[in-house]
């Protein structure tokens, strides 16, 4: 049997792929795989219904718990912000989606893969890296890339083939959503100076709709992982959803960035990442309390590289495993609570505590004599000695 496994979201790109598989590529059996990493339930249902309409052999894989525990929480421990601009979200779901699709392919004995990624985006690299690593002999079909199709051409193709889609020529933006983040792009949103319309946002309240009273949130961490919010212990999936709701209703988590894609293209992206912003802010504040200065400085370098590898989809790269080992070691003391204030899109740390805090109030206080200030004179005499000598030579 000539069959292909199509990584299937039910959206525009993957929906138009289905008729192409038989008409243009000659496959006589199509296996569609939808991996649930926190998309809206209606999207999962819609994908299954579309697959049934097209007559594919369809699989829905529930990977939400795994995504929360093994992908989102490591991102928290790494404070993973791509280019310092936004939490990695879409990118960290792609390796898991590809992995689950590979498992289905192995189950049904398929030797060909298909995806709806364009030739301009990052996802083609992230998905194919996993597939080519785990199934190096598999044939990979990428119709959008191979046919050089525009988004408008896809919409017209869907109309001609009677493929149900949610996009139109007026509302052409593409939305990708998972448990950790929501990205919105396309149409006029590609213009760097176009103000995003309020209608593109779903997870975060605008300033007018957000509560007029600040909200206090307490997040507890153990070994770098968030384990409780406002005193209530939760599993990773439940905790992320609670953080999502608390931050989102207060307008926290909207991000508008100019992003450098892996192919070198510079694009404008809009994101909603309320849970990630809340948990990252709390986690970084706790690290600042328990880390030495050198640990903080070096981990910033490690975190940035970790985020780059995660953004690139290199989840099983040896260097990423090495960085994981370092990060996990540092997190052994990242235990404690952080108190946050949320208000109309703003988030601020107003308190933190930990049994591993390196802060000593008695030593730091200006009203204490535990640290004899007179000892500072000797330090000042030695401080910057070589720099002072060099400066004197230059003056001379």
- Structure confidence at residue 78 as a pLDDT band (50, 70, 90): very high
| 227 and 288 part of one domain | yes
Asked if residue 258 is part of any domain, the answer here is yes
Query: Do residues 72 and 96 touch, judged by C-beta distance below 8 A?
Result: no
Task: Provide the domain limits for residue 95.
Answer: 3-62+90-176
| 145 and 212 part of one domain | no
> Does the active-site annotation cover 174?
yes
Q: How far apart are CA 244 and CA 273, in angstroms?
A: 8
**What confidence tens digit (pLDDT) does each residue in 248-266 have?**
999 999 999 999 999 888 9
Asked if residue 335 is part of any domain, the answer here is yes
Query: Do residues 306 and 365 touch, judged by C-beta distance below 8 A?
Result: no
Q: Which of 10-24, 51-65, 126-140, 367-381 has the lowest mean pLDDT?
A: 367-381
**What confidence tens digit (pLDDT) does each residue in 186-226 have?**
888 889 999 999 989 999 999 999 999 999 999 999 999 99
> Does the active-site annotation cover 94?
yes
| 187 and 148 part of one domain | no
> Does the active-site annotation cover 123?
yes
| 106 and 124 part of one domain | yes
Confidence (pLDDT) at 396: 65
- Structure confidence at residue 72 as a pLDDT band (50, 70, 90): very high
H-only helix segments in the chain = 12-23, 41-54, 64-67, 73-77, 90-108, 123-134, 143-147, 151-160, 236-249, 274-290, 293-311, 318-330, 361-364, 376-382, 385-395
pTM: 0.91
Q: Of the listed 174, 183, 254, 352, which one is catalytic?
A: 174
Average pLDDT over residues 162-170: 67
> Does the active-site annotation cover 341?
no
Q: Of the listed 36, 77, 91, 123, which one is catalytic?
A: 123
| 267 and 373 part of one domain | no
Total domains in the chain come to 3
Confidence (pLDDT) at 170: 54
Confidence (pLDDT) at 30: 96
Q: Of the listed 77, 94, 151, 220, which one is catalytic?
A: 94
Asked if residue 168 is part of any domain, the answer here is yes
**What confidence tens digit (pLDDT) does each residue in 328-387 have?**
999 999 999 999 999 999 999 999 999 999 987 766 667 777 778 888 888 899 999 999
Asked if residue 282 is part of any domain, the answer here is yes
* Helices and strands in the chain: count of H runs, count of E runs: 15, 16
């Amino acid at each position: 049997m000539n069959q292909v496994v199509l990584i299937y979201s039910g959206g525009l790109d993957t929906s138009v792929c289905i008729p192409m598989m038989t008409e243009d590529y000659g496959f006589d059996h199509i296996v569609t795989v939808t991996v649930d990493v926190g998309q809206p339930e209606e999207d999962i249902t819609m994908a299954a219904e579309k697959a049934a309409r097209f007559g594919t052999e369809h699989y829905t894989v529930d990977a939400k718990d795994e995504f929360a525990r093994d992908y989102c929480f490591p991102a928290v421990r790494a404070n993973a912000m791509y280019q310092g601009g936004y939490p990695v979200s879409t990118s960290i779901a792609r390796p898991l989606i590809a992995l689950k699709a590979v498992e289905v392919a192995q189950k049904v004995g398929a030797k060909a893969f298909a995806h709806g990624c364009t030739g301009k985006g990052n996802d083609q690299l992230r998905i194919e890296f996993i597939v080519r690593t785990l199934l190096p002999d598999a044939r990979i079909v990428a119709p959008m890339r191979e046919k050089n199709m525009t988004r408008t051409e896809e919409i017209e193709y869907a109309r001609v083939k009677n493929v149900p889609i949610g996009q139109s020529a007026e509302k052409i933006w593409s939305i990708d959503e998972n448990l950790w983040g929501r990205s919105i792009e396309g149409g006029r949103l590609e213009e760097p100076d176009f103000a995003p319309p309020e209608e593109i946002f779903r997870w975060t309240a605008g300033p007018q709709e957000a509560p007029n009273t600040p909200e206090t949130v307490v997040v507890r961490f153990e070994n770098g992982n968030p384990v409780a919010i406002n005193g209530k212990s939760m599993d990773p999936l439940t905790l992320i959803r609670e953080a999502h709701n608390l931050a989102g209703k207060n307008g926290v988590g909207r991000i508008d960035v100019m992003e450098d894609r892996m192919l070198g293209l510079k694009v404008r992206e809009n994101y909603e990442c309320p849970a990630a912003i809340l948990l990252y802010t709390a986690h970084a504040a706790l690290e600042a309390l328990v880390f030495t200065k050198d640990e903080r400085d070096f981990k910033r370098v490690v975190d940035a590289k970790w985020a780059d590898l995660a953004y690139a989809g290199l989840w099983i790269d040896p260097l990423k495993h090495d960085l994981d080992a370092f990060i996990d070691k540092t997190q052994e003391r990242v235990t404690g609570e952080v108190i946050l204030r949320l208000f109309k899109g703003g988030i601020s740390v107003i308190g933190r505590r930990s049994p591993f805090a390196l802060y000593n109030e008695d030593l730091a206080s200006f009203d204490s004599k535990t640290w004899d200030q007179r000892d500072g004179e000797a330090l000042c005499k030695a401080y910057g000695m070589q720099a002072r000598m060099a400066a004197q030579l230059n003056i001379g």
